Amino acid sequence: MCLSTYKTVEVSSKANMIITQTSDKLLGNFIGSAYNIFYGREADSDGFRYWYNMLSTGKVSARTFIEKFVLESKEFLDSVKLKEEFISKIYRFIFGRDTDKQGKQYWLDYIDGRILYYYRSEYPSTYKNSEILILRWNINDSPKVISDVMNKLIFSDEFAVRISLMNIKLDKNNVNIPVNRTDALSIYNLLENDIKLVDYTDEIEKRKQEALRLEQDLINRVGSSRLKNKILTYLGDMVNNVAVSFYDVTTKESFDINGDVLFKAGSTHKVPLNIVLYDLVQSGKINLNSKVEYVHSQHYEGGSGVLQGYLVGEYLPPQTFAELSKRSLLNSDNIAANMLITGINQVTSLYREYGKILEEPLNRTGNLFSTNEMRKFLLKLYENKDNNPYYKNIIQYLKDSSTGVRMGRYIPEGIVANKYGSFQGNYHDIGIVFGDRPFILVIYTKDLSNAEKVIADISKIVYER
């Protein structure tokens, strides 16, 4: 394998100045291959002429051209997923030939080595290198690695020879080449297009499923199993009266105990309610300053909250979505939550939005949720993959409302964003615990006389894991 060094080949100035139609045709085919390989189409004349003139005069180097077509090519990055596919395309482009068996293996090993170099620290020490590589099957997940491969190939001996034969600059822009070149249009008409479109759909799906299966296996490994067993030991005979769902944000380990059992969620439902609200605000379907009319027969509910104290008979002034959100979380206001439900249902179906988040239809009513479902809602809130700027409101309201009675009793103040709930003497708590080892924890109970202590004790066991 000769492509293992960064050394370039010196080409004599005399040889570098000998310009023939052959060298111009080689340059034309080099540009044409970029379109064929990375865009899956023939080069358009305007694009070809631009790059031909820029490269042939030295205004743009081969390296700049390659960076534009590979590192900055959305078409390429959207289409290429597999490492083998990536190597095949790069070989055809950089060297103008198919991959040999030895070279393919060399670059596969190199890519895997760079993936581990950059991303090993993102995974628990219990994960094997081979398992990490299965999880990172998509080459587009590793932009640093793609850049490393391209830089190594660009400065290889073989590519230096090819560049010299095309009489273009390798690595410096705006260095004029004082020679006459064949007209770009003439070369364009001589292009040898070689478009090879291979359908990798089945192989990509196979790798994806392999990664998903492995991820599920890793989730159930010893780390989470040990913690689960510790909690089961603590619960003893209470195990049928408690549901627990846990997720370690750092290691991605998780477990549940009775995690799919449905409970009356009490006020814990106000967290997913507000997640849906702020998703609709971000999408422009709801304005936080818009108001919801109060209907006493529909919205009144006793228990926690401050809005019931503002009632004049059965009248309450219309409330903005912003105020209702704040009251529903900060004061666990039941009237505010009921008005939010009405406001959301006026633009969409609340439970349909819940189903979208949970990735399955939620064909039920009556405020019934499982701890596994609540864990999914909290994970969405924590990860905030859509960069919703309003999610920080939810987290701050939860932190500010934390009482330190249940989940936060044995955990340092200020790192717990939780929402307590109760229904007919059954007590719950759900939350995100930040700090050095952040985690998500959902605990529902039923028919326990010491439920608040049980929630606090389980939270302590998890925090001290």
Residues 390 and 436: beta-carbon distance below 8 Å: no
Is residue 222 very low, low, confident or very high in pLDDT (cuts 50, 70, 90)? Answer: low
Highest average pLDDT, of 15-24, 74-83, 195-204, 240-249, comes from 240-249
> How high is the mean pLDDT of the chain?
87
Query: Model-level pTM greater than 0.85?
Result: no
> In the block, which residue shows the tokens 């249009």?
185
pLDDT at 78 over 80: no
Q: How is 224-251 classified by DSSP, letter by letter? A: HHHHHHHHHHHHGGGGGGEEEEEEETTT
What is the CATH number assigned to the segment(s) 220-286+347-463?
Answer: 3.40.710.10
Q: Quick one: DSSP state of residue 364?
A: -
Sequence spans of domains, the chain: 13-214, 220-286+347-463
Residue 64: count other Cβ atoms within 10 Å of its Cβ: 16
Is residue 13 very low, low, confident or very high in pLDDT (cuts 50, 70, 90)? Answer: very low
Is residue 379 very low, low, confident or very high in pLDDT (cuts 50, 70, 90)? Answer: very high
Give SS3 for 366. Answer: coil
pLDDT at 229 over 60: yes
Provide the CA 52 distance to its chain's centre, in angstroms.
38
Amino acid letter for position 151: N
Predicted local confidence at residue 219, as pLDDT: 65
* C-alpha torsion sign, points 29, 30, 31, 34: positive
Is residue 4 very low, low, confident or very high in pLDDT (cuts 50, 70, 90)? Answer: very low
Predicted local confidence at residue 10, as pLDDT: 43
Residues 172 and 61: beta-carbon distance below 8 Å: yes
Is residue 9 very low, low, confident or very high in pLDDT (cuts 50, 70, 90)? Answer: very low
Which residue did the predictor score with more confidence, 38 or 209? 209
Q: What own/partner pairs with CB < 8 Å and gap ≥ 24 does 405-409 have? A: 405/452, 405/456, 406/443, 406/452, 406/455, 406/456, 406/459, 407/431, 407/433, 407/441, 407/443, 407/455, 407/456, 407/459, 408/459, 409/456, 409/459, 409/460
Predicted local confidence at residue 5, as pLDDT: 34
